[in-house]
Amino acid sequence: MSFVPKEIEDYCIHHSSKPSQVAQDLMNYTQTSVHGSNMLIGEMEGSVLKFLIKLGRVKSIIELGTFTGYSALIMAEALPEDGQITTIDVNPETSKIAQSYWDKSPHGKKIKQILKPGLEALATLSGEFDLFFIDADKNNYPAYLEWALGHLSPHGLIITDNTLWYGKVLEAGLDKKTDSIREHNENARLLEGYTKTLLPIRDGMFLIQRS
Ligand SMILES: C[S@@+](CC[C@H](N)C(=O)[O-])C[C@H]1O[C@@H](n2cnc3c(N)ncnc32)[C@H](O)[C@@H]1O
């Protein structure tokens, strides 16, 4: 889903930094061979993530929602050599595809996978992290946000994907997922001591920075 006309998004992508060949191969494979490939963040959002990771000198990332590993690989490419990303998912098949592509990249060694439901996986982690990328089951968005807020490093950043949810967030009571995303967005809006911006990039990227 994108709120920007395709020709404009293509023009933006053309003028932005390109993903690696391995990342492009992974995207092609996912689009041709994996059910649900519309879940990929895509090139536009990928270039924004990379930019923010470099700008914020991010070194540690938690990702909720690995899928076939495209966003994890894109983020790993922007991390410094000693950077680390832990990515969480419940699906063993897509996680296996992810690992097989990370193994082809020099940045793959920065990525660690946890194959568990998001909240269960988070409960095994401790410490502070520079970036959270929330892109897993929508019903747990408020809980993921709460956990991330409690484990964010000073000046750390939370990015939550699909926060416009095809535009459905404009209406309350449509369905459980939409209401959960609305709750996440409202909780984020009410935060004090954070800088927030909800961008209409792809299906909505909510950026929340501890300031
Ligand atoms: C939108 S996709 C992630 C896309 C990925 N970030 C990318 O752009 O390549 C959402 C993922 O969340 C996973 N998921 C669903 N329920 C989950 C849960 N309870 N805990 C962790 N992951 C979950 C799904 O298996 C799916 O792979």
For helices 92-102 and 21-33, what crossing angle results, to 10°?
A: 150
pLDDT at residue 13 in the model: 96
DSSP characters for 170-201? GSTTS-HHHHHHHHHHHHHHT-SSEEEEEE-S
Q: Where are the domains of the chain?
A: 6-210
From 67, 58, 74, select the one nearest 19 (Cα to Cα): 74
115 alpha carbon – ligand 1 mean position (Å):
11
CATH of 6-210 given 3.40.640.10, 3.40.50.150, 3.40.50.300, 3.40.1410.10 = 3.40.50.150
160 neighbors 206 (Cβ within 8 angstroms): yes
pLDDT tens sequence across 76-120: 999 999 999 999 999 999 999 999 999 999 999 999 999 999 999
Is the beta carbon of 40 within 6 A of some atom in ligand 1?
Answer: yes
The minimum-distance atom of ligand 1 relative to the CA of 140 is 19
pLDDT at 211 over 90: no
Unique residue bearing structure tokens 């996978």: 113
Q: Measuring from atom 26 of ligand 1, which residue has the nearest CA?
A: 67
Q: What span, in angstroms and rounded, lies between the C-alpha atoms of 177 and 111?
A: 29
Q: What is the mean pLDDT of residues 184-209?
A: 97
In 3-state terms, what secondary structure has residue 148?
Answer: helix
pLDDT tens sequence across 118-177: 999 999 999 999 999 999 999 999 999 999 999 999 999 999 999 999 999 999 999 999
Take residue 125 and report the two structure tokens written for it. 């982690």
Q: What is the mean pLDDT of residues 28-33?
A: 97
pLDDT at residue 67 in the model: 98
Is the beta carbon of 41 within 6 A of some atom in ligand 1?
Answer: yes
pLDDT tens sequence across 1-18: 789 999 999 999 999 999
Q: Measuring from atom 3 of ligand 1, which residue has the nearest CA?
A: 65
Unique residue bearing structure tokens 């790993």: 76
pLDDT at residue 2 in the model: 83
Of all helices (H) and strands (E), which one includes residue 72? Answer: helix 70-78
Q: What is the value of pTM for the model shown?
A: 0.98
pLDDT at 43 over 90: yes
Unique residue bearing structure tokens 């909720």: 64
pLDDT at residue 84 in the model: 98
Which residue among 66, 138, 166, 180 has the greatest number of ligand 1 atoms within 8 angstroms of its CB, and so is best to mutate? 66
Query: In the chain, which ranges are continuous DSSP H helix?
Result: 6-14, 21-33, 42-55, 70-78, 92-102, 118-122, 141-150, 176-189
Mean pLDDT of the chain: 97
DSSP characters for 107-118? TGGGEEEEES-H
Is the beta carbon of 116 within 6 A of some atom in ligand 1?
Answer: no
pLDDT at residue 120 in the model: 98
Q: What is the longest distance spanned by two Cα atoms in the chain?
A: 46
Give the Cβ contact number of residue 94 at 10 Å.
18
